[in-house]
A and B are shown apart, each in its own frame.
Chain A
Amino acid sequence: MPITCTDELGVTAVVNGLVNETALLIDPDTGASVAGNQASVVLSRASLAETELTFPRAIADLTTNAWVVAWTGADAAAKTFKVIEVTPDDNPAIDLLTLKLEAYEP
């Protein structure tokens, strides 16, 4: 599905990818297991390289814009997320990037 990516410089491009939003178990260090919610998107590194976008990364600096992805969900709702972790797959036959995400108020 089309993913709208916006890097920290404000460059925007649409790249096809796979999105994932799942519930999971969390151990909050208190000995209790609780439910959580996690979103991620998988993009082709080659597709990203064809755009002007910077390489996706988690940005903690307050003075820099976040690396953001957005898409329209099956419920027609617009969803925007900030990248908080990038795990590249260096297998050249696959060459995918998995971006772990968190909710973001654009």
Chain B
Amino acid sequence: MTIAALINKTDNLELVRDVIAAILAVETASQMALAEAGAKDPELWRLRVYKDRIEPWGAYLSTPATGTVDAAPIVNVSFETEAFIESDGDYIERQSADAKFNLDVYGYGLAAAEVTGHTPADVKAAAERDRATRLVRNIIMAAEYYELGSDMIGTVSKRFIQSITALDLTDSDRRPIQQVRAARIVLGVTFNELSPQIELVPCAGILSRVHTELDGEVVFSIQQWFGD
């Protein structure tokens, strides 16, 4: 017996990853609008969000000028691991899973001359990284997203930031890259994964009765009807 139905669904692992990226994209736009309404520079709330990219910061390679959209901090949401919790689930349909998602934040800075001295690129890039990391952490852990949003209630049972680690990138000569500095936010999410099930035929009715045969035997019988 094979699986009767075509497996044409998105696993919740993929869904959760997409939801995290969507939350960040929606909230960065919302925060920029709030900043503008509050007469603040909205660019300080801009994040460029990617999902599952190896090299999301390709735009930095063209050395965009400070303050341009291409120079804005980048967040890449990717999946790392999914561990299933045997004690919380069943072997038939629902398996609870603890998954880890990496939210890699990249800040970019160009060394620039100042009135007295100069600002090195690594100083500016670190400040950008820290600002973006702060934004991401606050968005993801905001009360509005305690289960990654109301649409995910029933699927997600918990989201929790497990660590934030600075990543200093190096080139092929193992020299530190000055203009791009990064941090990895590890986000743990607990949610349900569901698997294909045998499609049951609806039971339209059940008739049961108990009667006494002519010879005195008491008999229980049952009839069922399936289908619409």
Contact = CB atoms under 8 A, between A and B. Distances in A.
B119, B121, B171, B177: which has the most chain A beta carbons within 10 Å?
B171
Nearest to B117: A63
A35 B118 contact: no
A23 B172 CA distance: 11
B177 A105 contact: no
Contacts of A60: 120
Interface stretch (B20-28, B105-113, B187-195): B105-113
A28 B184 CA distance: 12
Given A27-B172, A29-B167, A104-B111, A34 B55 contact: yes
A84 B175 CA distance: 10
B110 A105 contact: yes
A32 B55 contact: yes
A100 to B, nearest CB: 8
A62 B126 CA distance: 14
Contacts of A34: 54-55, 57-58
Interface string B49-65: 00000110110010101
A45 interface: no
Contacts of B184: 30
Interface residues of A, number: 32
A66 B124 CA distance: 15
A84 B178 contact: yes
B63 A64 contact: no
A26 B58 CA distance: 12
Given A25-B172, A35-B55, A62 B123 contact: yes
B36 interface: no
Given A36-B61, A62-B117, A103-B111, 17 more contacts: A25-B172, A28-B170, A29-B169, A32-B54, A34-B55, A36-B177, A37-B61, A62-B119, A63-B116, A63-B117, A65-B117, A68-B113, A102-B111, A102-B178, A103-B110, A104-B110, A105-B111
30 contacts: A24-B172, A26-B169, A26-B171, A27-B171, A28-B167, A29-B169, A30-B167, A30-B184, A32-B55, A34-B54, A35-B61, A36-B61, A38-B171, A60-B120, A62-B114, A62-B117, A64-B117, A66-B111, A66-B118, A82-B121, A100-B175, A102-B121, A103-B63, A103-B111, A103-B179, A105-B110, A105-B111, A105-B112, A105-B113, A106-B112
Interface of B: 54-55, 57-58, 61, 63, 65-66, 104, 110-114, 116-121, 123, 167-172, 175, 177-179, 182, 184
